[in-house]
Amino acid sequence: MFAVIKTGGKQYSVAADDQLKVEKIAGEPGDMIEINEVLMVGNTVGTPLVEGAMVTAEILEQGRSRKVIAFKKRRRQNSRRTIGHRQHYTMLQISEILTDGAKPSKKAGAAKAAKKEAPAKEAKADKKEAAPKTEAPKAEKKEAAPKKEEKAEAPSAAAPLFTAPKDGAKDKLTDIKGIGPVAEKQLNEQGITTFAQIAALTDEDIVKVDEYMPFSADQINDWKAQAAEKAKG
């Protein structure tokens, strides 16, 4: 038996055990949800919904789709704007298709509640088996290093994706069409300062740059071709 459901403003044809990606639904992996907007079940068509019908599903994953780049340019206005967007989605597995007001065998949130109860029971068992705490002598407490010294070390910043030239060579990357002052600064922060480095980027390197900057792989490949010509000159 199949059904047609509506969620996130879209319609989907589903059957038991099907997996589908829909617009984000609140919940965590393992949660059971109920979809009451059922437009059709088998040969029964709703007006607009099928009365007493319901579809239950389990949330498998909460994720984000591949980045989409929106580029806007105004002619002769020196105005450019690039925006990256990654749409949130929820991966579902259809559990049951119910009709005539039937109740689901698994209630919404039942899996989540079971997961919470298990750690709680383990925590209680650990408390009972834990040995009594012994107090350290006062003299040892005085000799302990002060907490301020432990906090003196600041966390290290994230390492650049690439290694900058040892001789400190630096080209004007804005000479490449498509690279502005902001993009040049982002490339420099990741250790890319010369045309030769851009021309030598591999497919794996382009994926890394694509994740760090709001530019598509096609744009970065275009930079690579321009950089190769400038490096020769």
Beta strand ranges found along the chain (DSSP E): 2-7, 10-15, 19-23, 32-35, 38-41, 44-45, 54-64, 68-74, 79-85, 88-98
Using the structure block, give the residue that is written with the tokens 């909460």.
62
The pLDDT score that the predictor gives to residue 171 is 86
pLDDT digits (tens, 9 = 90+) for 173-222: 888 888 888 888 888 888 888 888 888 888 888 888 877 777 777 888 88
- pLDDT band at residue 167 using 50, 70 and 90 as cut-offs: confident
What CATH number labels 173-232?
Answer: 1.10.150
Domain residue limits, the chain: 2-107, 173-232
Q: Residue 36 and residue 13: Cα distance in Å, rounded?
A: 14
Q: 100 pLDDT exceeds 80?
A: yes
Q: Which has more confidence, 1 or 121? A: 1
Instruction: Dump pLDDT digits (tens) for 1-59.
Output: 899 999 999 999 999 999 999 999 999 999 999 999 999 999 899 999 999 999 999 99
Q: What is the pTM of this model?
A: 0.45
Measured CA to CA in angstroms, residue 152 lies from 128, 143, 145, 156, 220 at distances of 38, 19, 12, 12, 41
Contacts of 107 (CB under 8 A, 6+ apart): 32
Q: What average pLDDT does this structure show over 163-180?
A: 82
Check if the beta carbon of residue 65 is closer than 8 Å to that of residue 89: yes
